[in-house]
A and B are shown apart, each in its own frame.
Chain A
Amino acid sequence: MTSLVDSRPKRRSQPRPLAGFGSLLRFMMRRDRVRAPAWIASVVGLVAASAASIVGLYETPSQLQEYADIAQADAAFKAFAGPGYGLDDPTLGAVMMNEVLVYSFVGVALMCIFLTVRHTRAEEETDRAELVRAAGVGRLSTLAAACVWVAIINVVVAIGLTLSLLAFGLTATGTLAYSAATCAVGMVFIGVAAVAAQVASSARAATASAGTTLAACFLLRAVGDLGTSWLTWLSPLGWAQSIRAFADERWWVLVLLGLAAAGSVAGAFVLSMRRDLGAGFFKQRPGPAVGSPRLASPLALAARLQRTSLISWTIGLAIIGAFFGIVTDEAEKMLESEAIAEFFAQAGAGTPTELFLATVVLMTALTASGYTVSTVLRLRTEELAVRAEPVLATPVSRRRWLLSYLTVSAVGTIVVMVVTGLAVGLGSAAQLGTTADILPVLGATLAMVPALLVLAAVTVALVGWSPRWAQLAWAGVAISAVVGLLAETLKLPDWLRNVSPFEHVPPLPAADFEWLPLVLLVLVAIGLTFVGLGAMNRRDIG
Chain B
Amino acid sequence: MPTAISMRNVVKTFGPTRALDGLDLEVATGEVHGYLGPNGSGKSVTIRTLLGLLRHDSGEARLLGGDPWRDAVALHRRLAYVPGDVSLWPNLSGGEIIDYFGRLRGDLDRPKRDELIERFELDPRKKAGTYSKGNRQKVALVLALASNAELLLLDEPTAGLDPLMETVFQDCISAVAAEGRTVMLSSHILAEVEKLCDRVTIIRNGRAVQSGSLDDMRTTTRTAITVSTDRPVDGLEVLEGVHSVRTEGAALRFEVDSHALGRVLNHLTAFGIRSLVSQPPTLEELFLREYGDDLAASEAAGTS
* With A296-B100, A394-B76, A397-B73: A389-B125 Cβ-Cβ less than 8 Å: no
The CA of A308 and the CA of B102, in the complex, are separated in Å by 25
B52, B81, B85, B99: the one contacting A295 at CB < 8 Å is B99
A88 within 8 A of B: no
The CA of A301 and the CA of B92, in the complex, are separated in Å by 10
Is B104 touching A296 in the complex (CB atoms < 8 A)?
yes
Q: Which residues of B contact A284 (CB under 8 A)?
A: 127, 129-130
* With A286-B127, A385-B87, A386-B87: A395-B73 Cβ-Cβ less than 8 Å: yes
* With A202-B90, A389-B53, A390-B140: A289-B48 Cβ-Cβ less than 8 Å: no
Query: CB-CB contacts of B108-134 with A at 8 A, as 1s and 0s?
Result: 000000000000000011110110110
Q: Which residues of A contact B55 (CB under 8 A)?
A: 538-540
Q: What does DSSP make chain A's interface, helix, strand, loop or mixed?
A: loop
Is B129 touching A125 in the complex (CB atoms < 8 A)?
yes
Q: What does DSSP make chain B's interface, helix, strand, loop or mixed?
A: mixed
Is B126 touching A286 in the complex (CB atoms < 8 A)?
yes
CB distance from B273 to the nearest CB of A (A): 54
* With A287-B127, A289-B125, A387-B89: A393-B51 Cβ-Cβ less than 8 Å: yes
In the complex, the chain B residue whose C-beta lies closest to that of A538 is B55
B103 within 8 A of A: yes
Is A390 touching B101 in the complex (CB atoms < 8 A)?
yes
B180 within 8 A of A: no
CB distance from A235 to the nearest CB of B (A): 31
Q: Which residues of A contact B30 (CB under 8 A)?
A: none
Q: Which residues of B contact A287 (CB under 8 A)?
A: 91-93, 95-96, 125-127
Is B101 touching A286 in the complex (CB atoms < 8 A)?
no
Most-contacted residue by chain B among A285, A290, A296, A397 (CB, 10 A): A290
Is B101 touching A289 in the complex (CB atoms < 8 A)?
no
Residues from 53 to 105 in B contacting A, C-beta threshold 8 Å: 53-55, 72-74, 76-77, 79, 81, 83, 85-93, 95-105
* With A125-B129, A394-B76: A289-B100 Cβ-Cβ less than 8 Å: no
Q: Which residues of B contact A395 (CB under 8 A)?
A: 73-74, 76-77, 104-106
Query: CB-CB contacts of A275-304 with B at 8 A, as 1s and 0s?
Result: 000000000111111111101111001001
Query: CB-CB contacts of A509-542 with B at 8 A, as 1s and 0s?
Result: 0000000000000000000000000000011111
Is B125 touching A541 in the complex (CB atoms < 8 A)?
no
A305 within 8 A of B: yes
CB distance from A29 to the nearest CB of B (A): 28
Is A392 touching B125 in the complex (CB atoms < 8 A)?
no
Interface residues on A, range: 35 or more
Q: Which residues of B contact A291 (CB under 8 A)?
A: 95-100, 102-103
B76, B102, B132: the one contacting A393 at CB < 8 Å is B76
* With A393-B76, A394-B101, A397-B73: A288-B125 Cβ-Cβ less than 8 Å: yes
Is A290 touching B89 in the complex (CB atoms < 8 A)?
no
The CA of A540 and the CA of B13, in the complex, are separated in Å by 11
A396 within 8 A of B: yes
Q: How many A-B pairs fall under 8 Å by CB?
A: 114
Is B81 touching A393 in the complex (CB atoms < 8 A)?
yes
Q: Which residues of A contact B52 (CB under 8 A)?
A: 392
Query: CB-CB contacts of A369-397 with B at 8 A, as 1s and 0s?
Result: 00000000000000001110111111111
Q: Which residues of A contact B132 (CB under 8 A)?
A: 1
Q: Which residues of B contact A304 (CB under 8 A)?
A: 92
CB distance from A393 to the nearest CB of B (A): 4
Q: Which residues of B contact A386 (CB under 8 A)?
A: 83, 85, 87
Q: Which residues of B contact A286 (CB under 8 A)?
A: 93, 125-127
The CA of A397 and the CA of B76, in the complex, are separated in Å by 10
In the complex, the chain A residue whose C-beta lies closest to that of B82 is A390
Q: Which residues of A contact B96 (CB under 8 A)?
A: 287-288, 290-292, 295
The CA of A385 and the CA of B95, in the complex, are separated in Å by 20
Most-contacted residue by chain B among A127, A297, A298, A387 (CB, 10 A): A387
The CA of A310 and the CA of B92, in the complex, are separated in Å by 18
Is A392 touching B88 in the complex (CB atoms < 8 A)?
no
* With A287-B96, A287-B125, A289-B93: A396-B53 Cβ-Cβ less than 8 Å: no
The CA of A518 and the CA of B88, in the complex, are separated in Å by 40
In the complex, the chain A residue whose C-beta lies closest to that of B78 is A395
Is A295 touching B53 in the complex (CB atoms < 8 A)?
no
The CA of A471 and the CA of B127, in the complex, are separated in Å by 29
A385, A391, A540: the one contacting B104 at CB < 8 Å is A391
Q: Which residues of A contact B51 (CB under 8 A)?
A: 389, 392-393
CB distance from A286 to the nearest CB of B (A): 4
Q: Which residues of B contact A292 (CB under 8 A)?
A: 96
B74, B83, B89, B100: the one contacting A389 at CB < 8 Å is B83
B54, B76, B140: the one contacting A540 at CB < 8 Å is B54
**Chain A to chain B contacts (Cβ below 8 Å), 6 pairs:** A286-B125, A290-B99, A295-B100, A296-B100, A387-B89, A397-B72
Residues of B within 8 A of A (CB): 48, 51-55, 72-74, 76-77, 79, 81, 83, 85-93, 95-106, 124-127, 129-130, 132-133, 140
